[in-house]
Structure 1
Amino acid sequence: MDFKSCVTWKEIVQQPSIWKEEVQIVRDNLKAIGEFIEGVKADKVKVVFTGAGSSEFVGNTLCSYVNSKIDIDVVSIPTTDIVSMPEQYLDENTATILVSCARSGNSPESVAAVELADKLVKNIHHIFITCNAEGKLAQISKTGDNKFLLLMPEKTNDKGFAMTGSFSSMVVAGVLVLLRKDFEGMAARVEYVAELVERNIETILSNAEAIAALDIERIVYLGDGAAKGLAEEMSLKVLELTGGKLASFYNTFLGFRHGPKSIVNDKTAIVCMMSNNEYTRIYELDLLKEFKNEGGKKKIIVLDTINDEEVKANADFYFTFADEKLGQIEDVFADLAYLVCGQLVSLVKSASLGINPDNPCPTGEVNRVVKGVIIHEYNK
């Protein structure tokens, strides 16, 4: 199948232009966003990123970095956890800003999480980061002064099955909103990475094609910090687009040794996403050396933002996005290049298996917007 004829291909490669557009959207709304957040009156405010599936991974990707930069407690809790056990995740006496991330805004759990928060938390405010102006979350945003809608560009409302531009745009928006006090610095990082990816998209595609061409039955994504959230998203992407034919997993470099490494066999590719943090890279290199010393036919693939000869010597495939700046900025921005590569791996692998990436589950067991969920009344 010609994957370049798929809408998913278009939605992946247009992401850099979306990120730049996203910068301007947040810039235009910066004053209103600041007034809304700073209008939450409380001694302690908790920010909860929430969503389901890829929308959950938005918070998983950015929370560790954001928490290192501001003194507000920022956590990521999936809507699926909030809905099934709200009393463990929603504290009635803690002022909370619930940041609901959603492509369509129509998932039952997304709506239910908002309703539960309104019911259980005394001082609750909502920020909706969504890609669908007609979705239920966008409509709910109009129902009170405690709600703020940050609408993504229309083209982020992916028409393909899998979330691509919708996911990355919400990551970008989340970072810019919470770190708005250094907005221009954050914006410059986003725009720089966007331009780098645009210039190198054919090289990134070639890297992805090389990975997808490997004779494998399993693929593992490893990353630390922000890259752990991206590893989770990339693992889901390949699972979705191949209809489960390629088994996928994710972890951190250190965490992988603690049991999950059991998944490795001679039909496994391990995609290692290197950090820009010098201290973190020491641990990541240790694992690469361990893989190298073990031998076997597993494939060790490294994605890197700098040109590191020692890392390269311990990899079977070494793909670097290095230029004069990329290795010097924070991972949450630099790793967007890794994300595009992972998305393209999933796309190319899907097409090579004869699957339509735009509709990898035509029998309907899995859907673009989840179906079959019954929301039960919470009366405690």
Structure 2
Amino acid sequence: MNFKDCVTWNEIAQQPGIWKEEVSIVKENIEALGKFIEGVKGDKVKVIFTGAGSSEFVGNTICSYINSRIDIEVLSVPTTDIVSMPEQYLDADADIILVSCARSGNSPESVAAVELADKLVKNIHHIFITCNKDGKLAKISETGENKYLLLMPERTNDKGFAMTGSFSSMVVAGVLVLLRKDLDVLGEKVEYVASLVERNLDKIVANAEIVADLDIERIVYLGDGTSKGLAEEIALKVLELTGGKLASFFNTFLGFRHGPKSIVNDKTAIVCLMSNNPYTRIYELDLLKEFKNEGGKKQIIVLDTVYDEEVKANSNYYFSYEDAKLGEMEDIFASLSYLVYGQLISLIKSAKLGINPDNPCPTGEVNRVVKGVIIHEYNK
């Protein structure tokens, strides 16, 4: 089937426009959000990003960067962990802002995590970053002054099976909200990356088709820092959109050597998300050289922001934006340009395998909104 006939294609392609819209939405909310967040009093306020699946990976992607910029502790804890073991994450005497990220806002664990936090934590405040104005989380936001709803643009409520624009919009929103004091500067970076991706979309599609045409059975995404969370999200897109027919994995460059590298065989593609941090790139290049020296038929695909001759020489396929300004940005912004690559590789590979990317699991074992979860009463 033609991947451009899919809803998922449109939802991937429209993301740059959504990112620009997201900057405007946060600017419109920034005064009220600032008052809400700064109104949370306590000895040590803690922010917990939470969600399940791709919504969890929002926090996994942005928290390390946010922690490097502010003195408030920012954590990422999946709703699935909070619901099954709340006492480990919800301290009754802590001062917590629970940031619930959700596409639909209807997942059982998302609702249960909010209810548990209200029940167990004395000083709890909620920010809901969701894409569905009619979802349960959006409705819960109306039930108290300790709750704030930041609604994503309507078109982020993806109709396709996999989260694409919903994920990236929540990443942008999460960073801008927590680092709101630098909103103008950071917003300009988001808008620059968005325009760059828009201009290069045809090139990105062509390069993604090259990867999707490879004769592979496994694909690995490697990224450091914020790009580790991004690699985790892109690896999930592979599993979701191919119905599990293409096995996928993720790790950091250094971490990959410690056992996970065992997965590599001659039918493996390794997609490397290069960092803009010069020190980090030294370690990343070391692994690329190691791959090159090992030989074999594995395929090394590198995504980069600037042109780097040495990196190119140690890869089979080198796709670079060759953009100096992009190369100077923090990875959290620059890596948005990598995200579109990863999503499109999965989409195109799915179509080439004869799968409908909008409905890759027609038998229903996996659903767009998780089903079958029983929430049990917590009485401790």
SS of structure 1 residue aligned to 2:203: helix
What does residue 281 of structure 2 align with? 281
For residues 146-203 of structure 1, the C-alpha deviation after alignment (integer angstroms, 9 at most, x for no partner) is 0000000000000000000000000000000000000001100000000000000000
Letter in 2 for 1:220: V
For residues 300-338 of structure 1, the C-alpha deviation after alignment (integer angstroms, 9 at most, x for no partner) is 000001100000000000000121300000000000010
What does residue 326 of structure 1 align with? 326
- Are 1:127 and 2:110 matched, yes or no? no
Letter in 2 for 1:339: L
Residues 209-358 of structure 1 aligned to structure 2 (within 5 Å): 209-358=209-358
* CA distance in structure 2 between the partners assigned to 1:155 and 1:31 by the alignment: 25
SS of structure 1 residue aligned to 2:324: coil
* CA distance in structure 2 between the partners assigned to 1:304 and 1:123 by the alignment: 44
What does residue 359 of structure 2 align with? 359
Contact 2:222 2:231 in 1 (8 A): yes
Letter in 2 for 1:191: E
* CA distance in structure 2 between the partners assigned to 1:206 and 1:232 by the alignment: 23
* CA distance in structure 2 between the partners assigned to 1:321 and 1:76 by the alignment: 30
* CA distance in structure 2 between the partners assigned to 1:357 and 1:323 by the alignment: 31
> 1:284, CA displacement in angstroms?
0.3
* CA distance in structure 1 between the partners assigned to 2:163 and 2:137 by the alignment: 17
What does residue 172 of structure 1 align with? 172
Contact 2:131 2:154 in 1 (8 A): yes
* CA distance in structure 2 between the partners assigned to 1:8 and 1:375 by the alignment: 31
- Are 1:138 and 2:125 matched, yes or no? no
* CA distance in structure 1 between the partners assigned to 2:324 and 2:304 by the alignment: 13
What does residue 98 of structure 2 align with? 98
For residues 195-232 of structure 1, the C-alpha deviation after alignment (integer angstroms, 9 at most, x for no partner) is 00000000011111011100000000000011000000
* CA distance in structure 1 between the partners assigned to 2:2 and 2:203 by the alignment: 18
* CA distance in structure 1 between the partners assigned to 2:41 and 2:65 by the alignment: 25
* CA distance in structure 2 between the partners assigned to 1:208 and 1:227 by the alignment: 18
Residues 108-127 of structure 1 aligned to structure 2 (within 5 Å): 108-127=108-127
SS of structure 2 residue aligned to 1:272: strand
Contact 2:312 2:318 in 1 (8 A): yes
Contact 2:305 2:324 in 1 (8 A): no
Contact 2:129 2:150 in 1 (8 A): yes
- Are 1:28 and 2:23 matched, yes or no? no
Ranges in structure 1 where 5+ consecutive residues have no aligned partner: none
* CA distance in structure 2 between the partners assigned to 1:257 and 1:93 by the alignment: 41
SS of structure 2 residue aligned to 1:129: strand
* CA distance in structure 1 between the partners assigned to 2:322 and 2:124 by the alignment: 43
For residues 275-318 of structure 1, the C-alpha deviation after alignment (integer angstroms, 9 at most, x for no partner) is 00000000000000000000000000000011000000000000
- After TM superposition, the runs of 4+ consecutive aligned structure 1 residues lying more than 6 A away are none
For residues 328-356 of structure 1, the C-alpha deviation after alignment (integer angstroms, 9 at most, x for no partner) is 00000000010000000000000000000
Ranges in structure 2 where 5+ consecutive residues have no aligned partner: none
What does residue 69 of structure 1 align with? 69
SS of structure 2 residue aligned to 1:325: helix
* CA distance in structure 2 between the partners assigned to 1:265 and 1:324 by the alignment: 35
Contact 2:92 2:122 in 1 (8 A): yes
> 1:43, CA displacement in angstroms?
1.8
* CA distance in structure 2 between the partners assigned to 1:28 and 1:124 by the alignment: 24
Contact 2:57 2:229 in 1 (8 A): yes
Letter in 2 for 1:34: G
Letter in 1 for 2:2: D
SS of structure 2 residue aligned to 1:134: coil
* CA distance in structure 1 between the partners assigned to 2:62 and 2:183 by the alignment: 16
SS of structure 2 residue aligned to 1:162: coil
